[in-house]
């Protein structure tokens, strides 16, 4: 922290899921979604999450590290059984340089940009083993650091997936 400790002044205000339908040669246009309609073995469109950070303090917050993970509730493809939450398949972090005093700041999290295991490759693996997600869960937290916060708070959002 350059301007002083967060001391509970920076928080995750909201989480949203967004989907864009890619058009060749154009920048994707994202729209908020509350559920994801899909047909295995892939998701039609580009999925991302939008995180809104809020700085309630009088000083700018800088050097922010946002940590997040993505989980899937996996259900058998050929039956109507409810899914079971699997371990996180994506654990990443994103740096945010600065959030001004009394300001909101939007951060986009793109699961397909992961270097370790891109989202579409994970979906192909899961489908090849006979499963498909019926829900996706994103968990987000501001990474704690010395003098910043007294408690650790995580937020999550669940996205239902329909076939």
Q: Find the CATH number of the domain harbouring 121.
A: 2.60.40.10
Residue 136: give the domain boundaries.
Answer: 10-162
The count of domains in the chain is 1
Rounded to two decimals, the pTM is 0.87
Q: Is residue 111 in a domain? A: yes
How far is Cα 46 from Cα 7, in angstroms, rounded to an integer?
A: 36
- 1 pLDDT higher than 90: no
Q: Is residue 119 in a domain? A: yes
According to DSSP, residue 112 is labeled G
Average pLDDT score over residue span 66-95: 95
Q: Provide the pLDDT confidence category of residue 150 given band limits of 50, 70 and 90.
A: low
Please answer whether residues 139 and 69 qualify as being in contact, where contact means their C-beta atoms are separated by less than 8 angstroms: yes
Q: For all residues of the chain together, what is the average pLDDT? A: 88
Q: Is residue 18 in a domain? A: yes
Q: Is residue 4 in a domain? A: no
């Amino acid at each position: 922290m350059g301007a002083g400790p967060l001391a509970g002044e920076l928080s995750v205000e909201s989480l949203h899921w967004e989907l864009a339908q890619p058009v060749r040669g154009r920048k994707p246009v994202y729209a908020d979604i509350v559920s994801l309609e899909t047909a295995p073995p892939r998701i039609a469109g580009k999925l991302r999450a939008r995180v809104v950070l809020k700085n309630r303090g009088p000083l700018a917050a800088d050097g922010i590290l946002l940590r997040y993970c993505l989980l899937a509730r996996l259900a058998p493809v050929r039956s109507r059984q409810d899914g079971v939450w699997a371990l996180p398949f994506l654990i990443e972090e994103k740096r945010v340089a600065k959030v001004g005093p009394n300001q909101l700041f939007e951060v986009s999290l793109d699961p397909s940009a992961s270097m370790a295991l891109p989202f579409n490759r994970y979906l192909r693996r899961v489908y090849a083993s006979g499963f498909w997600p019926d829900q996706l869960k994103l968990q987000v937290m501001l990474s704690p650091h010395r003098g910043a916060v007294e408690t650790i708070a995580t937020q999550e959002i669940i996205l239902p997936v329909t076939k």
